[in-house]
Structure 1
Amino acid sequence: MKKPNILLITSDQQHWNTLGYFNKELSTPNLDRLIQSGTTFTKAYCPNPTCTPSRASIITGQYPSQHGAWTLGTKLMEDRHCVGEDFSAAGYKTALVGKAHFQPLASTEQYPSLEAYPVLQDLEKWKHFNGPFYGFEHVELTRNHTNEAHVGQHYALWMEEKGCTNWRDYFLPPTGSMDPAITYKWPIPEEYHYNAWIAERTNALMEQYNEEDKPFFLWSSFFDPHPEYLAPEPWDTMYDPDSLTIPAIVPGEHDKNPPHFALTQEDHPDFSPWNETSKGIHGYRSHHYYEYGEKKKLTDYDKKKLVAVYYGMISLMDKYIGSILDKLEELGIADNTIVVFTTDHGHFFGQHGLQAKGGFHYEDLIRLPFIVSYPGHVPAGVTSNAIQSLVDLAPTFLSLCGIPIPPAMTGVDQSQVWKGTASSARDHAICEFRHEPTTIHQKTYVDQRYKITVYYNQTYGEIFDLQIDPTELNNLWDDPAYAALKSELLLKYIWAELGKEVMPMPRVSGA
């Protein structure tokens, strides 16, 4: 029997409710056809709402507290076992195209980084390097979201090969010359956008592997809709800001929340008590201002326009995902390819008065779009509320391909759930956020109804009843009427922590 291919397609920082099939305010025709050909899981979660930890969990099958890449600015150590190694050993071709972010933008003698300055812009090096990299035999990378100065690596080489010799005009200083005050409309021609690069290179690799008659594990890793909110014409004006539902804070909703929630609604908050390492704290800032690009206060127009452009970025990405799905059909391998679409974590665009991401474990940030398609194996056109986690991807992929799951992986095998032969494989998900060694360290346990968030060395926390309070406006943590529920959820959280401990080998003798 022919081994199935794995095609993992991810976006970056995409809110769970931004699929056109379920949200008619935006258009995603290609993701919609994936939804119709597979199963959509409505209770999928990230193991951490930032890039490096979550992405490292995808390839290790472990939680950030286990694989060690615990926050942004850290790296996944090269000695960690990655799922690509298992696929390679089983005869698969393995590749990653697009965003990796397994390593930081700075390099030290003790912790060298290939994704750091200045090496990421040493184009001569990247002409001769395509891996191996974290279990992937072949990689083609860049590090920039939209016009960030981090542009370089294989994407910059591709732009030059395509004749875009002035590519620096479309990126921020010091790499480029684009005015940082420009937002919403990105002057880069669409043909040179990284979506076009990712789709073209993904398709070329699938074609190559098909010609070689080799099964593949291929991660097509898109950067959008991660801000800055920028899209080339006509995608920046595809949506009318005045016709969209724009989320906003509900007065008083942070009154019962931990103190860092309300501080985000001040113009000049003091987060110094949390600032332990002086490396920057995602989300611990005034959310009345942009976090990306030139710092300026968000006007009422901005609050609408950024949603419109965010949706435009998703629709643009959807177009190029469509070209990848078309290539699967053209090559005649769609029926033997497991396709998963998801994202690394969610996003705020006004919900609870918040923008982007940070230590706020609302569903908007930790819940994900999650679609699985495998014709003849995964039920088509089905929606499931079975809980999923990104940490489950590696063991599930291996299981579906008949490859043994390494015992050190702590994610669960979801293969029978994806096939529709089991109703669930887990009764909860755990989401971690550790952005400072001690002052910002929290974990969330969420099941089908309740969510509890605990903070290291703090007596405050959050409990939400997602059944009667789906928008999470009423924190029950200090409500005496829910004291018994609080005790029960704390115990379930402790059980969950015990249950996800690593067991790297079975017990082989009595002593």
Structure 2
Amino acid sequence: MKRPNILLITSDQQHWDTIGALGAEVHTPNLDRLAREGTAFTRAYCPNPTCTPTRASIITGQYPSQHGAWTLGTKLLENRRTVGEEFAEAGYRTALIGKAHFQPLRSTDRYPSLEAYPTLQDLDFWRSFHGPFYGFDHVELARNHTNEAHVGQHYAIWMEEKGFADWRQYFLAPTGTMDPRIAHTWPIPEEIHYDAWIAERTNALLEQYKEEGEPFFLWSSFFDPHPDYLAPSPWDAMYDPEKLTIPAITPGEHAANPPHFGQTQEEQPDFSRLQETGQAVHGYRSHLLPEGERKQLVATYYGMISLMDKYIGNILDKLDALGLADDTIVVFTTDHGHFFGQHGLQYKGGFHYEDLIKLPFLVRYPGQVPAGERKTAIQSLVDLAPTFLSLCGLEIPASMTGVDQSGVWLGRQAEARDHAICEFRHEPTTIHQKTYVGRRYKLTVYYNHPYGELFDLELDPGEARNLWDNPDYGALKSELLLKFLWAELGKEPMPMPRIWHA
């Protein structure tokens, strides 16, 4: 039997409810196509609601507390076993196009980083470097979101090859010269937007793999709709902010929550008690925004998603044109969710609502994965690596602690897990929490703190009523704490086999 190919397509920081076919207001005809031709899993979760930890989990099949890249600014060590290495040793071609974010923007002698300054913008280096990198034998990388000054690497080289030697005018100082006061409309020509780059380079590899007749594991890693909120014309004006449903806080919902929730609704909150390393405490600030700005942010966010959807469609069309679609497992998801007004919050941080930790998750494999179905079987991004290997008939290494979801994807079993675990550790001790998500209930615990969260997702899907301190739910909380401890024990790596001696 021919071994299937793997095409993983990811966005960055996309709310779970932003696919048109699943009822959202956003226009996504190509993601809708994937939903029609495959299965949409409506309860998929990230292992951490920030980039580096979750992206490292995708390629290692381990949780952040296991692979070591526990927060932004950390590095996934090169000695961690990755899914790309497993595929490469099995004869697959492996590639990553777009965002990696396995390493920090600052390099040190102890933790050198290829994704750091000044290497990040040494274009001569990147002209000659395409891997290997964490098990990918070919990489083409970038690091910026929209107009960030971090632009460089293979993306900048591609723009120059396209004849845009003046690309710096579309990016912020000190790299570029773009006016930082410009909002929502990114003056960059769409033809050199990084969505176009990712699609073009992905398709070039697909053509190469087809011509050479080699199986592949290819990750197309998009940057949008991660803020800042910027989109080129006409996508910046595709949605009328006055006609969109704009999420908002439920009055009084933070009264029973841990204190940092309510502080986000203050004009000048004091989070100094959480400062431990001197680094920024991610998401711990005022989340208050004027009403008009909140509406426009949602409109631009949707425009970014629709633009990305166009170029995902280009990739899907190329699979069809090359005759690869039937032999290729396509998965679309994101690294974590996003707040755009839900619970009065913006962007992300230590707030484990479904908006931030639940994900869009589509799987297509013609003739194998049921088409047009929606399933509530719990998924986790830590499961991607072992599931990909299993579907390709390859052995899953004992180091991978995610579960094999192949039977669920193929419609042969109802579920492979009854819970998901999400970790968030942004300071060594002061910001350190974990969430247990079960079939119905959800529990969040904080290191060295007596407060927490308990939500009934069936009766309170909007998570507006924290039951942690409700005496009527004391027995349930005790039961869930025990299940959480069992889940922590269960996600430890399998031990070496025991060898008996005479």
> AA paired with 2:138?
H
Residue number among 401, 404, 418 corresponding to 2:392 in the alignment: 401
In the TM superposition, what is the alpha-carbon distance from 1:504 to its structure 2 partner?
4.8
> 2:196 matched to which residue of 1?
196
Q: Report how many residues are paired.
A: 502
Q: Distance in 2 between matches of 1:343 and 1:236?
A: 22
Give yes or no for the alignment of 1:366 onto 2:357.
yes
Distance, in Å, in 2 between the alignment partners of 1:184 and 1:240 is 13
Q: Distance in 2 between matches of 1:262 and 1:432?
A: 21
CA offset at residue 505 of structure 1? 2.7
Partners of 1:205 and 1:15 in 2: CA distance: 29
Is 1:304 paired with 2:295? yes
Q: Which residue of 1 aligns with 2:479?
A: 488
Which residue number corresponds to residue 98 of structure 1?
Answer: 98
Secondary structure of 1:163's aligned partner: coil
Identity %: 75
**CA distance, structure 1, for counterparts of residue 82 and residue 416 of structure 2:** 22
Aligned positions of 1:303-382 closer than 5 A: 303-382=294-373
Query: Do 1:96 and 1:220's aligned partners in 2 also have CA atoms closer than 8 Å?
Result: yes
* Deviation sequence 1:225-270 (CA, Å, 0-9, x none): 0000000000000000000000011111100000100111111110
Q: Hey, what's the Cα distance between the residues in 2 that align with 1:495 and 1:225?
A: 36
Letter in 1 for 2:275: N
Superimposed CA distance per residue, residues 82-131 of structure 1 (whole angstroms, 9 cap, x where no aligned partner): 01000001000000000000000000000000000111000000000000
Q: Give runs of ≥4 in structure 1 deviating > 6 Å.
A: none
- For the aligned residue pairs, the C-alpha RMSD in angstroms reads 0.8
User: Aligned residue for 1:454?
Assistant: 445
User: What is the Cα deviation at residue 172 of structure 1?
Assistant: 0.5
CA distance 1:510–1:272, change in 2 (3 Å):
farther
| Residues 504 and 196 (structure 1), Cα distance of their counterparts in 2 relative to 1, 3 Å cut | farther
Q: Which amino acid aligns with 1:351?
A: Q
Which residue identity is paired with 1:425? Answer: A
Letter in 1 for 2:169: D
Paired position in structure 1 for 2:166: 166
Partner of 2:206: 206
Aligned to 1:30: 30
Q: Measure, in 2, the Cα distance between the counterparts of 1:457 and 1:162.
A: 54
441, 448, 463: which is aligned to 1:472? 463
Show the counterpart of 2:498: 507
| Alignment-derived partner of residue 266 in structure 2 | 266
Task: Please give the per-residue CA displacement for 1:116-163, whole angstroms capped at 9, x wherever unaligned.
Answer: 011100000000000000000000000000000000000000000001
State the SS of the aligned residue for 1:490.
Answer: helix
* Paired AA for residue 99 in structure 1: K
Q: Is the 2:15–2:360 Cα contact (8 Å) retained in structure 1?
A: yes
Task: Work out the CA distance in 1 between the residues paired with 2:355 and 2:363.
Answer: 21
Distance across 2 between alignment mates of 1:493 and 1:244: 38
User: What is the alpha-carbon distance in structure 1 between the residues aligned to residue 413 and residue 24 of structure 2?
Assistant: 31
Contact 1:408/1:504 (CA < 8 Å) preserved in 2? no
TM-score of the superposition, structure 1-length normalised?
Answer: 0.98
In 2, Cα distance between the equivalents of 1:87 and 1:314?
Answer: 30
Measure the CA separation in 2 of the matches of 1:196 and 1:275.
40
**Partner letter of residue 224 of structure 1?**
D
Alpha-carbon offset, residue 167 of structure 1: 0.4
1:51 positional shift: 0.1
Mapped to 2, the partners of 1:487 and 1:25 lie a distance apart of 40
Quick check: 1:408–1:505 contact (8 Å CA) kept in 2? no
The answer (yes or no) to whether the contact 2:45–2:359 under 8 Å persists in 1 is yes
Contact 1:444 1:454 in 2 (8 A): yes
Paired residue for 1:417? 408
Between 174-183 and 146-155, report the one with greater CA deviation: 174-183
**Compared CA separation, residues 504 and 81, structure 1 to 2 (3 A):** farther
Cα shift at 1:301: 1.1
1:316 Cα deviation (Å)? 0.2
1:295 maps to none
Give, in whole Å, the separation in 2 of the partners of 1:222 and 1:469: 33
Distance 1:254 1:491 in 2: 26
SS in 1 for 2:383: helix
1:268, 1:380 → 2: CA distance? 50
- What's the counterpart of residue 284 of structure 1? 284
Q: Which letter maps to 1:376?
A: G
SS of 2:307 mapped into structure 1: helix
Segments of structure 2 that go 5 or more residues without pairing to the other structure are: none
- d(CA) in 1 for partners of 2:500 and 2:9? 43
SS in 1 for 2:20: coil
> Which consecutive residues of structure 1, in runs of 5 or more, have no partner in the other structure?
289-297
**Which amino acid is 2:500 matched to?**
S
Matches of residues 30-109 of structure 1 in structure 2 within 5 Å? 30-109=30-109
The answer as to whether partners of 1:53 and 1:64 remain within 8 angstroms in 2 is yes
User: Distance between the aligned counterparts of 1:477 and 1:337, measured in 2?
Assistant: 45
Q: In the superposition, relative to structure 1, how do residues 123 and 423 fare at CA in structure 2: closer, same or farther (>3 Å)? A: same
Once the 2 structures are TM-superposed, how far is the Cα of residue 24 of structure 1 from its aligned partner? 4.3
Q: 1 CA distance for matches of 2:499 and 2:397?
A: 16
- Paired residue secondary structure (1:21): helix
Query: Are residue 430 (structure 1) and residue 430 (structure 2) matched?
Result: no
Hey, what's the Cα distance between the residues in 2 that align with 1:219 and 1:509? 43
Q: Is 2:132 the counterpart of 1:120?
A: no
CA distance in 1, matches of 2:457, 2:276: 33
